[in-house]
């Protein structure tokens, strides 16, 4: 076993980010005598997975080689059987896998089938890295609702913006690039109408030198109070917008929004607002496996109160702006006692540019 090969597999798999949802990121390497004979990754939803690409194209003396995969083969039974047959025919002696396929609907136990063919199989190489890489897939295939990531950038004194609402830019350039990497990974990105009014964002992915996938832009606007000049309403073949509104959305606003080519979903109001749990069910029914929420304060407060958050990123910039009325990240009612505070688990941090990025999980 060589963990460096699995690191390469993980790196390859990441190249499919934004193009394979709701399937997992998948990479494969075929190795013999310390030499890589072939490598590949899952490039787009519904195409051949990494292992099939490698096994179909590899040439030369393959017998005695080892196959590295970050995740078990996961597509149709027909393709899994093809993979097993190719492994046998090519004389591959061992398959090393980062993580099992967590899909509860899967019927083929890959390791057991390899054992029947007298092919060695080891599962769990760099398992933590592989499982985090495909945490979106693991959650969605079990729950059929999006894995929810929230992120905000704040100053050292915990502010999202100055007292006048100015927030451009709190984060460093490197930290802003990290935001676009997150956007590339997910199927949808969500903000509230206040953010649209204040920042007029595009919410597209912008990464130089990379093939880009834009997530579905989801705007929560109860009564459709969005300016016709909002950039978010500009849609084309590469970027789409969904307005999540109340069942009481005025007809004239609905008609005006539809003229821009956006989609509209109307949900029932609960205690005068749109419940995030209903939004999750809606997006899940649309095949949206992941949702990235950028705020602002009101939306973040609502989503935390709903209990829908799974992962949190906070970018802390070494800046101090002060001000009692300056916006803080998480709005809503808030808690009364410190003992009731949300405590993140599996917390880690890294420095990107001049900012500290803290990552943690709600579980």
What are 302-338's pLDDT values in tens digits? 999 999 999 999 999 999 999 888 888 898 888 889 9
> What percent of the chain is predicted at pLDDT more than 90?
70
Q: Assess if CATH 1.10.3720.10 describes domain 144-361.
A: no
Residues 193, 219 contacting (CB under 8 angstroms): yes
> What percent of the chain is predicted at pLDDT more than 70?
100
**Domain 3-135 in CATH: superfamily?**
Cytidine Deaminase, domain 2 (3.40.140.10)
Query: How many CB atoms neighbour CB 106 within 10 A?
Result: 16
Rounded Cα distance, 270 and 67, in Å: 52
Q: What is the pLDDT of residues 63-82, one digit of tens each?
A: 999 999 999 998 888 888 99
Q: What is the pLDDT of residue 111?
A: 86
> What's the CA angle centered on 257, arms 256 and 260, to 5 degrees?
100
Residues 181, 207 contacting (CB under 8 angstroms): yes
Element (H, E) at 81: helix 77-90
Rounded Cα distance, 314 and 335, in Å: 20
Q: What is the pLDDT of residue 1?
A: 66
Residue 296's pLDDT band, with cuts at 50, 70 and 90, is confident
Per DSSP, what are the bridge partners of residue 236?
Answer: 239
Q: What is the pLDDT of residue 234?
A: 84
Between the two ends of the chain, the Cα-to-Cα distance in Å is 32
Element (H, E) at 349: strand 345-352
3-class secondary structure, 282: helix
CA distances from 297 to 225, 280, 316 (A): 18, 19, 16
Q: What is the pLDDT of residue 352?
A: 92
Residue of 11, 39, 43, 51 marked catalytic: 51
Domain boundaries defined on the chain: 3-135, 144-361
Q: Span 122-151, mean pLDDT?
A: 97
Residues 59, 78 contacting (CB under 8 angstroms): no
| Structure letter (DSSP) for residue 24 | P
Element (H, E) at 90: helix 77-90
The lowest-confidence range among 209-213, 268-272, 310-314, 341-345 is: 209-213
51 is catalytic: yes
Rounded Cα distance, 222 and 92, in Å: 57
């Amino acid at each position: 076993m060589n963990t460096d090969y699995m690191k390469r597999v993980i790196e390859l798999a990441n190249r499919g980010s934004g193009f394979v949802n709701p399937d997992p990121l998948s990479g494969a390497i075929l190795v013999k005598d310390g030499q890589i004979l072939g490598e590949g990754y899952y490039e787009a939803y519904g195409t051949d997975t990494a292992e099939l690409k490698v096994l179909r194209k590899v040439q030369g003396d393959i017998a005695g080689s080892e196959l590295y995969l970050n995740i078990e083969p996961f597509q149709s039974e027909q393709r899994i059987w093809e993979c097993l047959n190719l492994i046998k025919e090519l004389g591959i002696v061992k398959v090393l896998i980062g993580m099992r396929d967590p899909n509860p609907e899967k019927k083929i136990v890959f390791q057991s089938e390899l054992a029947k063919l007298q092919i060695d199989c080891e599962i769990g190489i760099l398992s933590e890295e592989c499982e985090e890489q495909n945490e979106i897939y693991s959650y969605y295939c079990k729950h059929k609702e999006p894995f929810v990531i929230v992120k905000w950038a704040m100053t050292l004194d915990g502010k999202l913006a100055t007292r006048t609402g100015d927030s451009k830019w709190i984060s460093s350039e490197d930290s802003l690039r990290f935001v676009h990497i997150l956007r590339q990974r997910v199927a949808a990105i969500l903000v509230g109408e206040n953010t649209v009014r204040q920042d007029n964002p595009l919410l597209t992915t912008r990464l130089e030198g990379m093939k880009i996938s834009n997530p579905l832009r989801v705007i929560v606007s109860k009564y459709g109070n969005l300016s016709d000049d909002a950039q978010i309403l500009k849609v084309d073949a590469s970027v789409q917008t969904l307005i999540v509104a109340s069942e009481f959305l005025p007809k004239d606003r609905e008609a005006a929004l539809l003229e821009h080519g956006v989609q509209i979903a109307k949900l029932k109001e609960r205690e005068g607002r749109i419940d995030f749990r209903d939004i999750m069910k809606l997006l899940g029914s649309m095949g949206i496996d992941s949702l990235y929420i950028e705020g602002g304060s009101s939306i973040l407060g609502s989503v935390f109160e709903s209990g829908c958050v799974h992962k949190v990123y906070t970018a802390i910039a070494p800046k101090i702006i002060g001000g009692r009325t300056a916006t803080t990240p998480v709005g809503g009612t808030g808690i009364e006692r410190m003992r009731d505070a949300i405590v993140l688990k599996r917390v880690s941090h890294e420095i990107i540019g001049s900012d500290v990025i803290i990552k943690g999980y709600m579980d």
